[in-house]
Structures are given as structure tokens and as C-alpha cells.
Structure 1
Amino acid sequence: MLAEINSFLNDLIWGNILIYLLPALGVFFTLSSRFVQFRYFFKMFNILRDTSHKKDGHISSFQALMLSIAGRVGGGNIAGVAVAITLGGPGAVFWMWIIGLIGMSTSFFECSLAQLYKEKDGQDSGVYRGGPAYYATKALGQKWLGFIISILLMITFGFAFNATQSFIITTSFESTFDIPTWITAVVLTIIFASAVFGGIKRITKFSEVIVPVMAMGYLLIALVVIGLNFEKIPELISMIVNEAFNPSSAIGGGIGAVILQGAKRGMFSNEAGLGSAPNVAAVAYVAHPVQQGIVQSFSVFIDTIILCSCTAFIILLSGVYVPGAQGVEGVLLTQNALIEHIGPFGGYFVTIALFLFGLSSMLYNYYLAENSLNFFSKANMPLFTAFKLLCISLIIWGSFQDLGSIFAFADLSMGLLAVINLIVIALLYKPVLQLIKGYDRQLAEGKKPVLRYNDYNEYKIDKKVWKEIVDNINDKKSKK
């Protein structure tokens, strides 16, 4: 009965609420901001080159971006895209692109809010905290809402998703390399523990190394596949667009199924609007909240437009995919497609990629959970140590469990989190529009934008945090 109730609520939230709410708000944010995700796209490169944080030991925009990509990029890029194509056909890829481009604006709004309402971490003066729980509490004055958001984040990402990632990684290594699950679990746990006991700075250091390696490795493999089949690319893109509006008869459910699968898998993969990425966006040391909004918007682009497309091209350029066939899907479909392209190495590569994607996601998930715990209890070191030990033990436990039911419950809690977060950022769209206007105004004046925090008195931000940042930046300017 519990499984049936959980399935019903999942279908209600994901299939009847979020499938409409996410795109609708994405379109609203895109239009109200005058297509902010496209106007600011190329400014991202200048922001990532900013090294003003290094002298003070702060976390940079690049490190926050890598940690964010670590969470967005994962099984959804390898298995989720394969499921979308299996159930929705090649046309689902087109709608995945659309939901990604629209979702960039949603991510911009939620991550700019996280920056605007961030606060100092009580444990480490060089680190900031923020996210949906913080801006819901400060801006709306609803602390109970912040508690609910934090609990949902902790359950979904810190516990359920990390245990599930451990199961996927260990069983994948056992299947591909015949390595017992307990050996992989021990290695995974040691790496994970060494990162989380080093705090957010060490987690970002890990992500700074792992994410570029895994993303570039996967991109290079995809480019090899594309290069081997270059003459087929125009025809493939034409087929994707055509199937998006005129799906073949082999796809059950017609165009509705195509749109649903593309949108649903796109949302699962890039997490735009789900309330997870803002927790990471808040930690970056930037002069203006819009800067981190731009960077996190780019994170959605990397996840959906680049890496999800890599998987789609690998599958659709192979002979493994058969329209309407339900026998092979998920990781196995991607693995079989890559084996066809480049031989047995393709199967090994997918398993290694899953390990890197899974490990980076686990670090990201842990930080979301830790940030939620910080909302409840600041600077309580014994509590944080006990929490770290619990999360580490769940890695071992998860490697020996079939966590299908737990994962389904986590989908439900994540869906509830997304609904709450979307409603909150819809209510708080005005301060983001004011941030954009202020940023544009300073650019027009030929200045490097910094937050003029006294212009935001009505929005209950932590002015001490922003005064310290702006004063520090001005001091550095005066010394040059």
C-alpha cells in the first residue's frame, strides 16, 4: 500500500504538476528578464577568470561551478537520456534541449537569490552558506518553510541518493570487472570520507579535479564517435527535430510521450528549479549575485545541451537503438552503443565514467545535506562530526542494498522540494529583476559591477556580509 501511495504521489507531482510548472516558470523568468541566459552567456568566461578570492582563501566561481556540475552531471546523463530515447524516441532529445535552455533562466533566478541572501558560516569565516531554506526564511519570514526545505534536502540528497549511488557504482564494477562489491565500497568510502572531513574547501578541491576530467573524457569519447560518423550528423539532427513533432508509430503515446520524456529527463538531469544548486551557488565569493547566476546558468547548459547530447548521439549513431523496443535501456543501452562504436573499451569506459560521475555527485549531495544541517544548528562540531560518520556509514550500507523503494521515496521528496522552491522563487522574482537592472546599469557606466547593498534594504539581506565583500574589493582596487 505504501508503494502504491508513493507511486501515486510521484506521478501526481512529476507527471501533473512539475511537468507544467517548471517550463511555465522558466518561460516567465526568460521573458521577464529579457532572455538573461542568452544575453549574459559569454560574460561567464570573464567571471570564471576572476581570482580575487584566492588571497583571502574564499571559494571561487569556478570551484562553485565545478561542484554544481558534479551534482548535475551523473547517472541522468548516461542512463536518463537512454531511458528518454527508449520511451520517447529521438524526438525526446529535442524537448530535452528546450527544457535545458528554458531551465537556464530558472537556475539563474534561484542561484542569484541564494547569493543575495547568503550568510557567513559560523564554523569557517572564509565560507558562506545559503540556499532555498535561507532565502525562504529571510525574504518571506517563514522559518517553518526553511525547516521543511532543509529536511527534504537532507533526506533526498544526503541519505537516499548517496546510498543509491554507492549501490550503482559497486554493482557496476562487479559486473564489468568482477570486483566484489565490498572492495569497491571500501575504496569509495575512503575517498568520500577524506573529502567530507576536509570541509567544503576540500570538497570543492576534489570536484575541481574530478569534474573537468570526467566531463572532458566523456566529451572526447563522444567527439570520437561523432568523428567516426560525421557524415550522418546532419541527418541525425534533422531526424531529432522531425521526431519531436512527428514521432514514429513505434513510440507509444505519440507526441505527448515524446514531450513528457524529454522534459522529465531534462529536469531530472539539470536540476534547474529543484532547489539543490542554489545551496552550492551561495558559497562562491563574487562581487555581485548576478555573477553566480550567470555561472550556474552555464552549468545547466553544460549538463543538458553538451553532455546529455553526447549520450544521445552515441546511442542514435549506433545500431543498438531500435524504435519501440523495450528490452534494453538505461546504462546498458549506452554501454552497448559505445561498445559498438569503439569496441570492448567502451563498456569499461562507461563503468569508469559512472564511478567518477557517481563520486562527484556523492560529494555534491553530502554538501547539500551538510548545508541543511547548518540551517538547524550552526557551529555544533560534535553534531557535524556525528553527521559525517552517519553519511559515511550509509555509503557502505548502500553498496549491499537494493534501494529501488528508497530511490522512489527520494524522487517524491525531491518533487516536493521542487514545488516549494519554485513557488518561493516565483514570489521573489522582483529582487532578481532589480539585481539584473543594477548589474546592467553598472555595465553601461563602464564599471565592474558590485552589489550596491543599500539599494536592497526592503529585501532583508545580510548587509554585513555584502559590506565586507564590497569593501574588500574596493580596497584591492585602490591598491592597484
Structure 2
Amino acid sequence: MVETIVNFLNSLLWGKLLVYALVGAGLYFTVRLLFIQITHFGHSAKLMVTSREGCESGLSSFQVFCTSMAARVGAGNMAGVAVAVSTAGPGAVFWMWVIALLGMATAMVESTLAQVYKVRDKDGQFRGGPSYYMEKGLGQRWMGVLFAIFLIISFGLVFNAVQANTITGAFSGVFGWQPEWIGVFLVVASALVIMGGLRKVARVSEVIVPIMALAYIAIAFVVVAMNISQLPGIIVLIVKSAFGWQEVAAGGVAYTASQALQAGIARGLFSNEAGMGSAANVAASASPTPNHPASQGFVQMVGVFMDTIVICSATAAIILLSGEWGTATSEDGIQLTISALTHHVGTWGGLFVAGSILLFCFTSIIANYSYAETNVLFLTGNSRKAILIFKLLVLCMVMFGAVAKISVVWHLADLSMGLMALVNILALVLLSGVAMRVINDYREQLYAGVTPVFDKRKFPDLQAQIAEDIWNGEPAKTVEEAVPVKANI
């Protein structure tokens, strides 16, 4: 009964509402920002790799990038791509690319707004995100409360169950371990990190994320090199399947363009989170260099690109080049990715995927927790007792996910994510005027050849909405820490 209701709501959300909302918002922001994800991609990449200095109140932009990547790179990149391909065919990959390209502009807007309206908590740490810009920018606390509830349910609880479920599937399939023992291990490991708070999550992510991402991309390049003659045909297959120009049958099922569109958008959003408002929560925690809200928006654009265009494509290449997807079902999840890599490189491929899943999904669990923590503080007025109770709930959901039925978990994740995204997209559109003005302020300074600095006194109508002790026109800590403004724009 519950599964039937969840499936109906998902079909309504993902079959109609969110397809138009996400694509429409992405197109709208892309046009209004003059295709900033393309014209300023080089500048974004330079900001990401050079801004490693933070301050006592905030994390560095690079730490925030790694933390957001820790949340993005997980089940969606490995199991999610497998589910999309097995249920909707190769065409789903094309729509994942499209939603990522458009989502880069959306990520720019939501992360910029998160920085504009950020505040300091009782410990002096920067906090912010959609709940905060809904309350401060729109003056609608009820809207921020609604978003916070959806995010806590989805990221703090359901998504962490999804990540634990994926780890269990990988290790049970490769080593035959019991899900209960895997769950106990994950609970203990997660507790050791999340009990240390946001800064410990950021430090762990900063170490693990670059290593795991580079290793996974490297193995994908090896697989592509081994099958380079098949690559052109796979690309053609993806494009033709996306538009229904070529029917692709697997297991006796003919995939349609609408199936590919729906699965691609759903799995693409789950993976890169653009427009969902989730990554904006940690984006607000940064002390960016240059000291301007838009600089963090540029960094977050790179995160969307790396997650979907690079890492999800790596998984898609491994699966499609193997031919294993032709007989898979949605229940196979991570097993399809394991089988595909094993097909290419032998039995050690399964061990590699299991190890990758452990790192990818574990870092997602701790980063997801950090997103939810900010919203628990928003709802409870910085209550430390509420945070402790919430940490215990998160650990319970990790254990639940380790032994749960995968289809139920994925469907719940889709529903909570969809509701959260709808609320956030509405807020982004309503606040788009503010975002455009702030981003244009950055670009004007960039084109003038100076290091961008945000001074709220240039925006008199926003001064009452922005925290008194933030954005008073302070420059970056040193000129050397600022990115050369004329490079790669």
C-alpha cells in the first residue's frame, strides 16, 4: 500500500512537474547568465583548485567543494547510473548530461544566494542554505521550515539509508558478508566522524574525495582504452536512444524516449543535486576567495560537472561497453556495475568497485549529515540537544538502509528529493533578481581587472536582510590568495 502511494506520487513529480521545473529553471538561469557555465568554466576550475584558505568562521572553498562532492559522488554515480540504464536504456545517459549542463547554472545561483544570506551560529561557524534565503530573502520562514523538513527527511535519513544499502549490496555480492554486520561497521565509522561536527566532516572529505574520484576516473579510462573501437558506436547509441530514433531492446523490453528522459533527469538530479538546494547548505559554510558570494557559486558549478559529466559518464562507459546492461533489471543496482567492471578487468574489478562504493557512499553519508545538521539548527534555534538526538536518528537510518529492500529505499529517496527540489526551485526563481545582480557585480569587477570583493553597501535594499557582521567589503586575506582575475574567463 505504502509503496503504491509512493510510486504514484513519484510518477506525478518526475513524470510531469519536475521535468518542466528543472529543465525550465536550468534554461532560464543559463540564458540570464549568458551561458556562464561555458564562458567562465576555466575561471571556475581555477577558483576551485587555488582557494584552499578559509578562516575561523568558515571552511575554505576547496573544503566545501570536497564536502559537496562527498555528498554528490556516491550511490547515484554507480548504482544510480546502473538503475537508469537498466530501466530506461542508454538514452538516459544523454539526459543526465543535459540536466547536468543546465544544472551548472542552477548550482551557481543557489550557492551564490546561500553565501549572500549566510549567518554565524553560536560557535562562530558560517551556516546558510535555502532555508535561510527563504526566510531572510523572501521573508517566508514557513517556506524555509518546509524545505528544512524535506531536506532532513531526505538527506539526513532516506539518502543515508540509500548509501548504506548500496555499500551492503556491493560487499554482500563480492564477499558474501551479512548485511547486519556491514550495517554495524557503517554505524560505528559514521559515528566517529559526524560526532566531530562540520569541520571534521570537511577534513575527512578533503582527504578522501580527490583520491577516490581520481582512482575511479583512471579505471574508467583504462576500460575505454581497452574498448576504444566500440566507443563511437556507444555514443551514437546513447544519442539515438535518447530521442527514440533507435529502439533498444533488452530482456524483451523496448525502451522509449520518455523513459530515458524521466530516468535521466531523476538519476542525474539525485547524483549532482543541482536545483535541489542540498549543496547550497555546505556552500554557505565557506569563507570564499575572492571574498564574494559569487566565487563560491563558480566553485559549485565545477562540482556538478565533475559529478555527472565526468564520474557518471565513467560508470556509463564501463556498463555500456560491457554489454552487461542488456539483461539487467532495476533490482540489480550496484551488482550491474560490479559485473560490468569484472567483465572488463577480471575478478579484481569487483573488489575495486566494492572499495570504491565503500569510500564514495561513506563520504556521502557524512556529507549528507552535514547538510541536515544546518537545517536542524535552523528549525531548533541552534539547539545542541536536538543535534545529538538527530545524530542518533541518522545512525539508526544507516543501519536500516543496510538491511532494507532496495526498491522501497530508492522510491522514497525520489519522492523526498522531488518535494525538496520543487520548494527550492520556486525560491530560486523568486530570488533570481538578487542572484543576477550579485553575480554581475562579480563579473564587472572581474572584467575591470580587480579582485572581486562584495560590499553590501552597494545593495541598499539588501542590507536589512544580510547579517550585520558579514559582507562589509572586506578584501581577501592577501592578494596572493586571490585568483588572477584576468585568467580563464
Bucket of the pairwise TM-score, normalised by the shorter protein = over 0.9
Deviation of the 1:74 alpha carbon: 1.3
> SS in structure 1 opposite 2:44?
helix
Q: Deviations over 1:402-436 (max 9, x none)?
A: 46545533432221111111011011111111012
Q: Is the 8 A contact 2:150 2:416 kept in 1?
A: yes
Rounded Cα–Cα distance in structure 2 between residues aligned with 1:177 and 1:52: 39
The residue type paired with residue 281 of structure 1 is A
With over 3 angstroms needed to count, the CA separation of the structure-2 counterparts of 1:465 and 1:42, relative to structure 1, is farther
Q: Show the counterpart of 1:315.
A: 319
With over 3 angstroms needed to count, the CA separation of the structure-2 counterparts of 1:163 and 1:80, relative to structure 1, is closer
Q: Which runs of 5+ in 1 are unaligned?
A: none
Alignment of 1:110-149 (within 5 A): 110-122=110-122, 124-125=123-124, 127-149=125-147
Rounded Cα–Cα distance in structure 1 between residues aligned with 2:74 and 2:399: 20
Q: Show the counterpart of 2:220.
A: 222
Q: Show the counterpart of 2:485.
A: none
Q: Show the counterpart of 1:339.
A: 342
The residue type paired with residue 278 of structure 1 is A
Rounded Cα–Cα distance in structure 1 between residues aligned with 2:445 and 2:370: 34
With over 3 angstroms needed to count, the CA separation of the structure-2 counterparts of 1:401 and 1:422, relative to structure 1, is same
Do residues 292 (structure 1) and 296 (structure 2) align? yes
The residue type paired with residue 103 of structure 1 is G
Q: Is the 8 A contact 1:30 1:36 kept in 2?
A: yes
Identity of aligned residues (%): 40
Q: Deviations over 1:108-128 (max 9, x none)?
A: 111111111111122x22x21
Q: How many matched pairs?
A: 475
With over 3 angstroms needed to count, the CA separation of the structure-2 counterparts of 1:328 and 1:363, relative to structure 1, is closer
Q: Show the counterpart of 1:303.
A: 307
The residue type paired with residue 270 of structure 1 is N
Q: Is the 8 A contact 2:161 2:409 kept in 1?
A: no
Deviation of the 1:180 alpha carbon: 3.1
Is the deviation greater in 73-82 or in 296-305? 73-82
> SS in structure 2 opposite 1:317?
helix
Q: Show the counterpart of 1:362.
A: 365
Q: Deviations over 1:225-251 (max 9, x none)?
A: 011112332333233223333122526
Deviation of the 1:6 alpha carbon: 2.2
Rounded Cα–Cα distance in structure 1 between residues aligned with 2:270 and 2:257: 20
With over 3 angstroms needed to count, the CA separation of the structure-2 counterparts of 1:462 and 1:474, relative to structure 1, is same
Q: Show the counterpart of 2:267.
A: 265
Rounded Cα–Cα distance in structure 2 between residues aligned with 1:399 and 1:474: 45
Q: Is the 8 A contact 1:453 1:463 kept in 2?
A: no
Rounded Cα–Cα distance in structure 2 between residues aligned with 1:338 and 1:475: 46
Rounded Cα–Cα distance in structure 2 between residues aligned with 1:326 and 1:188: 27
Q: Show the counterpart of 1:103.
A: 103
Deviation of the 1:51 alpha carbon: 4.8
> SS in structure 1 opposite 2:276?
coil
Q: Is the 8 A contact 1:93 1:309 kept in 2?
A: yes
Alignment of 1:64-213 (within 5 A): 64-122=64-122, 124-125=123-124, 127-213=125-211
CA RMSD of aligned residues (A): 2.4
TM-score (ref. length: structure 1) = 0.92
Q: Deviations over 1:77-100 (max 9, x none)?
A: 112212222233223222221111
Rounded Cα–Cα distance in structure 2 between residues aligned with 1:416 and 1:366: 19
Is the deviation greater in 85-94 or in 28-37? 85-94
Q: Show the counterpart of 1:256.
A: 258
The residue type paired with residue 62 of structure 1 is F
With over 3 angstroms needed to count, the CA separation of the structure-2 counterparts of 1:441 and 1:199, relative to structure 1, is same
Q: Deviations over 1:105-158 (max 9, x none)?
A: 111111111111111122x22x21111110011111111111111111111111
Q: Show the counterpart of 2:450.
A: 447
Q: Is the 8 A contact 1:451 1:466 kept in 2?
A: no
The residue type paired with residue 60 of structure 1 is S
With over 3 angstroms needed to count, the CA separation of the structure-2 counterparts of 1:308 and 1:138, relative to structure 1, is same
Rounded Cα–Cα distance in structure 1 between residues aligned with 2:427 and 2:180: 43
Q: Is the 8 A contact 1:155 1:410 kept in 2?
A: no
Deviation of the 1:318 alpha carbon: 1.3
TM-score (ref. length: structure 2) = 0.91
